[in-house]
Structure 1
Amino acid sequence: MKENEKMTSGEIAKKAGVSQKAIRLYDEKGLLKPSEYSEGNYRLYDKEALLVLEKIIALKQIGYSLEEIKDHILNDNSEDILASLNNQIELMEAKRYELEKSVTRIKAVLARTDGEPDWDDVSDILKSMQVDQNKDSGHFFALDHTKDDIDWYVKLYRYVEVNKGERVLDLGCGFSKIWRNNWKDIPEDVKVDAYDIPGSWADDFDKFIESNKNDLAKNTEIDLKFENLEEEATWQGIEKNEKYSMILAHYMIDDIKDKESFIAHAAAVLDDNGYFSLNAYGNVPMTHFDFWYEVFNEVGIKTNVIDAVVKEEQKVHDECVSVLSKYFEKIDERIVPCTFTFSGIDDVENIFVDLEKLLRDKKFVEDNKAKLQEYFEKKLVDGKVKIPHDGGFWRLSH
Structure 2
Amino acid sequence: MGLPPCRALLYLTTAATAQNLIHYAAPGGSTGITRESGRARVNIAVSPHHVRPTFRKPFYQKPKTDPASLKKACKASIKEAWRPKTQKVGYTYHKNACSRDARASQRRTWQPARCPHVTPSTAKKCLAKKNITRIVLIGDSLTMQLWGSLLCREETKWGFGAKVDGQIQHENVNYDQRSQRGFSVADATVGDGLTWTYLRVRGMQRAGALTRALEVAFDRGMLDQRALYVVNAGLWHLLCTTNINECLETYENDVDKFLKVLTARADGPVVWRYTTAVHPALFPRRMSPVDQRKFRSFTDENVRRLNKVADTVIRRDFRDKVTVRRDAYNFTVNLEDEAYLRGDARHPASGALKSLVSLLFVEDACDYGRLARGLVGRWWQDW
Q: Which has the higher helix share?
A: 1
Specify the structure having the higher radius of gyration (Cα): 2
Q: TM-score when scaled to structure 2?
A: 0.31
Q: TM-score when scaled to structure 1?
A: 0.30
Higher relative contact order (CA 8 A, sep 6+): 2
